[in-house]
Amino acid sequence: MSPGILGKKIGMTQMFRADGQAVPVTLLKAGPCMVVQRKTPTADGYDAVQLGLVEFIKPQRINKPTTGHLKKAGAEGSRFMREFPLRPGDDDLKPGDKVLVDQFKPKDIVDVIGISKGKGFAGVVKRHHFRGGEGTHGSMFHRAPGSIGASSFPSRVVPGMRMGGHMGNERVTVRNLEIIEVDTEDNVLVVKGAVPGPNGGYVVVRRAKR
């Protein structure tokens, strides 16, 4: 059993269960992947496997150190690589082994990790869902954040204060998504619900931790 797989987001649609219930789903182009490196407790201090997504990439898009790293495992053409910790029950994968979508089956529960869509600069009302001030009666406080800290103590803005800034373009994990269908011919996973990122964005699909 593979700990996970790499892929790309295709887009969203809906499917119907046998009882007629409509289910919103996301299609993921998952794999084929190849094991690029195996991390062992004796050599690296932990047990993990590094997977690379096999796709058509121009050689000049991959730098020389990465090209040499991939050549050791015979996995040329893998630009998107991620590590998966190995847990009891996972396969003993070795460099050069393939990981395909047939490792998963319907009703499996997975976590999907992606980079959310970048929204640019956003204020606190849009970014953090602040209520804002009154809209009428002479109010001059509409979409401002209000106080951000005390003056005398601690005389600074504490870290993590919710303010306006760059919204999106962050690593987001959506947990416990159900796999509805597995298409082994076209390497497609159909998962229930939404997945972070734009269509065509890279995603990491791992076995659910919780």
Take residue 110 and report the two structure tokens written for it. 């997975």
Give residue 57's domain range.
4-118+170-207
Same domain as 140, residue 63: no
Same domain as 106, residue 68: yes
Same domain as 20, residue 33: yes
pTM of the predicted model, to two decimals? Answer: 0.82
Taking only the tens place, the pLDDT of each residue in 115-159 is 999 999 999 999 999 998 999 999 999 999 999 988 899 899 999
Pairing between strand 109-115 and 202-207?
antiparallel
First to last CA, the chain: 17
80: pLDDT strictly greater than 90:
no
Contact 27, 188 (CB under 8 A): yes
Half-sphere exposure of residue 202, counting CA atoms within 13 Å on the CB side? Answer: 15
Please, which residues have CB within 8 angstroms of residue 204's CB and are 6 or more apart in sequence? 4, 6, 82, 112, 113, 114
pLDDT at position 96 is: 78
Measured in whole angstroms, the distance separating CA 63 from the mean position of its chain's CA atoms is: 24
